[in-house]
Amino acid sequence: MSALIDYSEQVSEYAVLGFSGIQLAFPQREVVSIDLGTDIDTSSAAGNRIGSLVNAGRAWSVYALSESLDVLRQLPGDRRFCVSFGSGRDDNSFALACERVEAAVLDHGGLVRPLPESILMPGMPMKHCFRNDNGLVLVSEQRGIQDYLLALDNVNG
């Protein structure tokens, strides 16, 4: 599993995805597009993918996660947005369905804190957190979630 973001070089701009009562932040530079959930083609669902999203002639596999970060097999009705990562040209491309997405800018990244060792689980794609007006935000990055989804694909086969 790859290492997550080196917070010695702090990220200050995040895209915060909200779904099932949790918030998950990614560096804004990793977000390729934000589309409407109605653009997801659920007829192409297979395995852990709830469908696909085609944008500018490129395709992204779409996933939905629960509050416990389990992969959902169907698109929940409250997922109004789809956030894409990667170029859409290779296996490193995927999208996450979410209820909301908003920007968060942290001054000098100083509010990002490591998660306590006692709650970290093997393979967990989040190692840091910060607070916003809606509560605790878990911080990940594209590669961490990508590796996590790949591991779940291997388990759920």
Chain-centre distance for alpha carbon 69: 10
Break the chain into its structural domains and give their ranges. Answer: 14-156
Specify the pairing of strand 22-27 against strand 135-139: parallel
Q: DSSP of 105-143, one letter per residue? A: E-GGGTT-EEPPGGG--TT-S--EEEEETTEEEEE--HH
pLDDT tens digits for 94-105? 999 999 999 998
pLDDT tens digits for 68-104? 899 999 999 999 999 999 877 777 789 999 999 999 9
